[in-house]
Every structure is written in C-alpha cells, then in structure tokens.
C-alpha cells in the first residue's frame, strides 16, 4: 500500500510544516509550502543557510529542511522572508501550478496562485483542511491537471479529484467553495482527499451546483487535461517550431525543447517575446546550498515543480549551469529518477536508497524509458503519478516492479 492510500484513518493528519515539525531519524524536519513553486532570491538564500544535507524538493513543489538544530529559530527566519504568512494555515497552502504559467497558452495562472493563497489564508474555516488536500491551477498544458489534485482550475472549469466539472468563468472562489464543500462532506470520516470520499467528486459537484445553479453543470466525459484547441492563441506555436534567439546559443544537449505536457525532464522553451525558460533536473530532488545560492543570483523567476525540477523563467539567454550539478540535458540518466529519503534519515527505511539510486544512475548513459522511483520500504513515499518502475528495498536488495 502507498502512504497515500486511505483505509479509514483514525489518527489525525500529521503533515509537517514550519511550526509542526516531524521527528525524523536525523532530527526535526520542517516542510515549507511554496504555492505554485514560487521562491524568491531572498528565500533561497535563507533556506540555504539552514540546509546541511540539502533542500529536499517534494512532489507538490514544496521544500523540506532536515536535521534542524533550532526549529523555533528556523520558523522565525522563514516568517521574516515571507514563507510563513499564516501560522494557522501554513500546512494547508498546498497549491501546485503549471510552471510556465500560461506563457505558451495565454491562460496566466501565476496571479491566480497568489490570489488563491491570500484568499485561502483569509478563511478561518479552511484552516481545518487536511495537510494532504491539494489545489492545482493548470495553464492549458495539462501538466498539473494530470496530478489528480483535489480541485484543479482549468480555463473552462474545474476538475474534482480528476473528474471534469464544466463551470465557465470559474475562479478562485470556486476552488475555495470546493474545499469548504469537502470539509462539509468529510464530517468525521477521517478522509484527507476528495477521492477518499464515496462518490466524492459527485458530492462536491452537487454542492457547487446548488451554490451556483445558473452557471454550473456536469461536464460531458472528456480527458482531465482537455482544453479546446481553439482556446490556444495562434501566436504561440509549439516550442519545437520556434528557433532559439541568436543570443541564447544553447549547446546541442540542452537545446531540445521542453514539452510542457511531459514536464518531468530538462530542456529549453522559447516563449513569445524571445525570452527563454529553462528546466533543470535536481538530482534525486536534493538542492544543495550552493545550488540554491546560485539560483538566487540569476536574473530569473524561479519555479520549483512537482517533478523535482527547477524552472527558470523569462531569461534573456540560456544561463551557463556547467559544474553546478543541475542537469539541463534532456537525455541525462538523472532525468525521471527519484528516491525517497531512505536511511539514515528515515527510521523505516531498509536501505540507503539515495546512495543506491545514485550508483545505479552512474552506470547508465541515457535517460530511462520510464521514470524510476527508489523506495526504502513499502510506504513508497514520493512515488510519482503515472507509469513508473519501482525499486523497493526489501532488506535483502531491491524488488523491481512496474506500476
């Protein structure tokens, strides 16, 4: 069973935050929410100051810092740089968004992320949401729509646990209404996610429909990431159809365009206006202090992604990341490889999976055909969505499985 599976929980949600840390085997662990994966240079520098074993990137584009000597000092410093805007809501600010933010599609999601975060923190009732409840805003590329968030905003409506619900003109108010409806339907069931409620999407949709009878209607069946082709602006052709600006001069390995619908690799996108976006893989999702400080020096907006990559936005040219350890080659064997914390940081782990995964990558030349996730026990923390090869520690080697 995955750690995300629901089996009638009786224990309360114990997701860590900056104030409620987790007692890991290597010391207190704090998790900082980064709505939409957005992080500023000042915030990167502050995180780097506390990271001894690396800043862990999570599957929700948040970050974790381990082995804290003073959790209280850490929380105070995070608040000082804007990473703890609401002590009551810190663990419910789980918001993922398309990293390109509509630069190729015209549906700008970054401002909506900021609006949702402010509105969420202003609702005292929504502080009761479980720490696993997830909001998503998809710019039309279908990248975060595929993650199965509890409520996903798309241009022509919302997805409730992946189920389409047509609501033209839906905005932040609908996302908040869906979250409130979940709390009402959840009762004392112990469910953490809409999908854990029997007929959860239908029950939430019924509440939304009754609240907005004029505009809400059940959607006809269509893929969760569907969007009418006519909604895409004619001025934004596929990235592969546009040349790189002369100033970019990418090397052949990094010049392959990133495909937003895949969004789990490395590459370069030229966006309208001639600016570029670069996606770099962070090996095994651990950003070093040196890498964090380097990112803070670049003239770019930084977005962390649910695929444990870093996207640098609105660059005039492709930066030279040689020697940084950040991977920009789409064919690198690091691409698509993930791992849980493993031992010694996790007491439940049966192996040092970070070390073992790195040794496995060192034997390869090209990226794997499918994502590969290394896990130290049957909980399989951090398991990616979709098809994946699992390497699960057994105490006597690893068992290979395919999901």
Lowest-confidence pick of 39-48, 55-64, 157-166, 219-228: 219-228
Domain CATH for 397: 3.30.413.10
Report if residue 378 sits inside a domain: yes
Nearest 10 degrees: Cα torsion 49, 115, 200, 225: -90
For the chain, how many structural domains are there in total?
Answer: 1
C-beta contacts of 111-114 below 8 A and 24+ residues apart: 112/137, 112/153, 112/171, 112/172, 113/35, 113/36, 113/38, 113/137, 114/35, 114/36
Cα separation, 176 vs 178, in Å, equals 5
Percent of the chain with pLDDT over 70: 83
Report if residue 395 sits inside a domain: yes
Report if residue 357 sits inside a domain: yes
Q: What is the mean pLDDT of the chain?
A: 84
Report if residue 364 sits inside a domain: yes
Least Cα distance to 386 among 370, 366, 367, 369 occurs for 370
| pLDDT above 60: residue 334 | yes
Report if residue 64 sits inside a domain: no
Domain of 397, in residue numbers: 337-402
Residue 403 pLDDT level (bands cut at 50, 70, 90): confident
Report if residue 394 sits inside a domain: yes
What average pLDDT does range 261-267 have in this prediction?
Answer: 58
Q: Which CA distances in Å does 105 have to 37, 242, 257, 331, 356?
A: 19, 15, 16, 26, 40
What average pLDDT does range 305-313 have in this prediction?
Answer: 95
What's the whole-model pTM score?
A: 0.84
What average pLDDT does range 229-242 have in this prediction?
Answer: 31
Report if residue 119 sits inside a domain: no
């Amino acid at each position: 069973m995955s750690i995300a599976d629901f089996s009638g929980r009786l224990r309360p949600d114990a997701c860590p935050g900056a104030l409620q840390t987790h007692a890991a085997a290597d010391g207190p662990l704090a998790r900082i929410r980064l709505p939409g994966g957005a992080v500023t240079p000042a915030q990167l520098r502050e995180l780097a100051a506390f990271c001894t074993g690396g800043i862990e990137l999570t599957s929700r584009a948040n970050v974790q810092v381990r082995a804290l000597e003073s959790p209280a000092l850490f929380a105070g410093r995070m608040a000082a740089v804007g990473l703890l805007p609401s002590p009551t809501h810190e663990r419910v600010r789980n918001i993922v968004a398309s990293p390109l933010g509509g630069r190729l599609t015209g549906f700008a999601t970054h401002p909506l992320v900021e609006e949702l975060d402010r509105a969420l923190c202003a609702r005292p009732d929504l502080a009761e949401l479980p720490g696993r409840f997830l909001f998503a805003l998809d710019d039309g590329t279908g990248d975060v729509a595929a993650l199965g968030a509890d409520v996903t905003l798309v241009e022509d409506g919302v997805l409730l646990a992946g189920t389409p619900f047509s609501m033209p003109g839906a905005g932040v108010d609908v996302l908040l209404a869906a979250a409130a409806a979940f709390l009402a339907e959840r009762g004392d069931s112990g469910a953490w996610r809409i999908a854990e409620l029997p007929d959860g999407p239908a029950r939430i949709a019924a509440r939304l429909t009754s609240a907005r009878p004029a505009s809400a209607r059940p959607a006809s069946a269509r893929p969760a990431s569907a969007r009418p082709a006519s909604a895409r602006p004619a001025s934004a052709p596929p990235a592969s159809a546009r040349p790189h600006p002369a100033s970019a001069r990418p090397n052949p390995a990094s010049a392959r365009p990133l495909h937003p619908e895949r969004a789990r690799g490395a590459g370069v996108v030229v966006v309208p206006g001639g600016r570029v976006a670069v996606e770099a893989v962070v090996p095994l999702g651990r950003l070093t202090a040196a890498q964090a400080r380097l990112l803070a020096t670049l003239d770019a907006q930084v977005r962390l992604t649910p695929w444990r990559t870093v996207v640098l936005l609105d660059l005039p040219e492709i930066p030279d990341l040689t020697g940084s350890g950040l991977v920009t080659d789409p064919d690198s064997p690091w691409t698509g490889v993930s791992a849980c914390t493993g031992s010694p940081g996790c007491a439940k782990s049966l192996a040092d999976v970070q070390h073992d995964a790195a040794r496995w990558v060192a034997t390869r030349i090209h990226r794997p055909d499918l994502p590969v996730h290394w896990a130290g026990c049957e909980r399989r923390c951090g398991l990616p969505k979709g098809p994946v090869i699992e390497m699960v520690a057994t105490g006597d080697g690893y068992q290979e499985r395919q999901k």
